Amino acid sequence: MKDDLTSSVTIFVTTAVCVVALIQRKQRRTQNSYHTQHPSNGSSLSQPWLSKQDVLQLRTKHFLKSVSVSYANTGGLMILKGNGSRLYDERGTSYLDTRNNVCHVGHCNPRVVDAVSRQLAELNTNTRYLHPTVIRLAQRLADKCPDPLQVVVFVNSGSEANDLALRLARAYTKSKNTIVVEGAYHGHTLAVLEVSPYKYQHSKEFDLQLQEEETTKGPVTTPGPHIWQVPCPDMYRQRHNTGKEYANHVQDGCDYFQRKGESTGAIIMEGGMSVGGVILPSDDFVRDSVTAVRNHGGVYIADEVQTGFGRLGSSFWAFQHGNHGIVPDIVTVGKPFGNGMSLGAVVTTPEIAKAFDSMGVEYFNTFGGNPVAAAAGMAMFDVLEDEKLQEHALQIGGYLKKRFWEIQTERLHQDLIGDIRGSGLFLGIDIVESSTLRTPAAAKTSFICSRLKQQYNILTSIDGLYDNVLVIKPPMVFSKEDADFL
């Protein structure tokens, strides 16, 4: 009897405890679902729910107008949730995201969320202290780069990475002279804007000066005599027939600096020109350009901020695309590295590192490579490798290209789709008025982009020198079903 009682009490108590535990769990879930609907984080009463109209109104007061809103012509999009290749607005409408190349292994990838959340609760401090995850990430990134690229500096963004890359190059070469590619964008800091034609050609911030070179488009201007701009090596809307001819413009730049008795400092180039309209430079362009620059004392900075980490499918880095065999002196990464967490890095050679170290000052970056960002980077790498997303990108990208060409041919869209280019999940569809004349059709591209959003809930982006390239650069988990839907 006593045993029975004990047993009953035990069962009762255990059950009660369990029920309480379950209720607590339920409550936590309810709280979470509240936050799903009201992503104010509910951490205080100071964060009430805001409607889309409220947000728009507050933005008018508190944001720069130059911080733009996507799809502003239809009131913008209030996005509150993300999952894989999908984004959800305040009504729960699901959008296929073909434009976010930041959340590389998918929006809110659970492994990244988990790793970051755990590290957040453990420690978040700076690189002046030693930390295993931080150094492991440096090692892992270095291991992905060909020799002799092995020194890593962590920063917060692609802009900071390119800024530091210029600093390293200048410390090493003692020259500020930089060769830049038409249409390129490398970031938003003052120094980086000076090497970003996409910005300096359109902003009144720069006193542009005439460059000693005329292209078929007319005279070229740059932010100063230390910047030499070369044409974008576009083989579709071509100014030249070979990469070699394009590379002659780089040689011209080196010669120009030499005539002034100066060496060349650097060429900065995206492995795949993204804002330029998904241009993958040809082997001869890369080889001849970099050779010319190196012959004049300069270094090659490969900007992998948009294209790194397997996006092209064919290779881990876009600078490895093709067969030119050229290894950059400095590589910069950003966007996808932390899957949305602020994380960037510069990878360089021991020789350049040594030159920078000899300058005599500490390099300190408060947040750069903190353990939380590093946990994000490690988890991104884990998912990328475990789920073989580089191979996946190659496969889906190939499938997408094939399907797009089919659409172009079968549906008689020859006079709309001029070119389909790129590799892996870095694709560009060049929209034209006429495929014979290859006239860029900016208005049509904008119309297609709007229609894709309004009618099919598909988010795309537009780039290119003439705003006529529909760019497909989705999270790498973009599936075959996503591709079919697109």
Residues 358-377, interacting with its own copies (CB under 8 A) = 358-368, 370-373, 375
From 48-56, 214-222, 398-406, 426-434, span contacting its own copies (CB under 8 A): 48-56
| Cross-strand bridge partners of residue 347 | 152, 331
Judged by CB under 8 A, does residue 182 bind its own copies?
no
CA distance 475 to 108: 11
User: Can you tell me which of 316, 317, 381, 404 binds its own copies, judged by CB under 8 A?
Assistant: 381
In the complex, least distance from residue 153 CB atom to its own copies, rounded to whole angstroms: 6
From 107-115, 248-256, 396-404, 428-436, span contacting its own copies (CB under 8 A): 107-115
From 185-193, 208-216, 228-236, 280-288, span contacting its own copies (CB under 8 A): 185-193
Report whether 184 contacts 178 (CB < 8 A).
no
Judged by CB under 8 A, does residue 266 bind its own copies?
no
CB atoms within 10 A of CB 88: 17
From 255-263, 264-272, 339-347, 417-425, span contacting its own copies (CB under 8 A): 339-347
Q: Which is nearer to its own copies, 218 or 360 (CB)?
A: 360
Q: Which residues between 110 and 139 bind its own copies (CB under 8 A)?
A: 110-133, 135-136, 138-139
From 58-66, 233-241, 310-318, 413-421, span contacting its own copies (CB under 8 A): 58-66
CA distance 311 to 313: 5
Judged by CB under 8 A, does residue 230 bind its own copies?
no
Burial of 349 (0-12, 13-18, 19+ CB in 10 A): buried
Place of tokens 């938003």: 188
Q: Which is nearer to its own copies, 227 or 420 (CB)?
A: 227
Helices 110-122 and 371-386, packing angle to 10 deg: 160
User: Can you tell me which of 6, 33, 47, 295 binds its own copies, judged by CB under 8 A?
Assistant: 47
Judged by CB under 8 A, does residue 158 bind its own copies?
yes
In the complex, least distance from residue 134 CB atom to its own copies, rounded to whole angstroms: 8
CA distance 100 to 69: 15
CA distance 318 to 27: 48
Q: Which is nearer to its own copies, 58 or 443 (CB)?
A: 58
Q: Which residues between 268 and 327 bind its own copies (CB under 8 A)?
A: none
Judged by CB under 8 A, does residue 177 bind its own copies?
no
CA distance 465 to 277: 7
Element (H, E) at 112: helix 110-122
Judged by CB under 8 A, does residue 389 bind its own copies?
no
From 50-58, 208-216, 256-264, 446-454, span contacting its own copies (CB under 8 A): 50-58
From 19-27, 209-217, 314-322, 423-431, span contacting its own copies (CB under 8 A): 19-27
Q: Which is nearer to its own copies, 104 or 324 (CB)?
A: 104
Q: Which residues between 186 and 225 bind its own copies (CB under 8 A)?
A: 188-191, 193, 199, 202-205
Report whether 335 contacts 377 (CB < 8 A).
no
From 96-104, 235-243, 407-415, 444-452, span contacting its own copies (CB under 8 A): 96-104
In the complex, least distance from residue 374 CB atom to its own copies, rounded to whole angstroms: 9
Alpha-carbon distances, residue 272 vs 103, 120, 162, 275, 320 (angstroms): 19, 34, 15, 9, 10
Q: Which is nearer to its own copies, 119 or 332 (CB)?
A: 119
Strands in 304-416 per DSSP E: 330-333, 344-348
Q: Which is nearer to its own copies, 11 or 437 (CB)?
A: 11
- Count of residues interacting with its own copies (CB under 8 A): 135
Judged by CB under 8 A, does residue 412 bind its own copies?
no
Judged by CB under 8 A, does residue 446 bind its own copies?
no
Terminal C-alpha separation, the chain: 70
Omega prior to 148 cis, within 30 of 0: yes
Helices 158-173 and 350-357, packing angle to 10 deg: 80
In the complex, least distance from residue 51 CB atom to its own copies, rounded to whole angstroms: 9
Query: What letter represents residue 298's amino acid?
Result: G
Q: Which is nearer to its own copies, 42 or 325 (CB)?
A: 42
Q: Which is nearer to its own copies, 5 or 130 (CB)?
A: 130
From 161-169, 211-219, 245-253, 278-286, span contacting its own copies (CB under 8 A): 161-169
CA distance 376 to 262: 43
In the complex, least distance from residue 81 CB atom to its own copies, rounded to whole angstroms: 5
461 phi, psi to nearest 5 deg: -130, 165
Per residue, the 3-state secondary structure of 351-382, as one string, reads: HHHHHHHCCCCCCCCCCCCCHHHHHHHHHHHH
**Structure-block tokens of residue 332:** 């910069």
CA distance 345 to 129: 18
Alpha-carbon distances, residue 315 vs 24, 271, 318, 371 (angstroms): 48, 11, 7, 28
Q: Which is nearer to its own copies, 131 or 438 (CB)?
A: 131
Q: Which is nearer to its own copies, 199 or 321 (CB)?
A: 199
Judged by CB under 8 A, does residue 478 bind its own copies?
no
Judged by CB under 8 A, does residue 87 bind its own copies?
yes
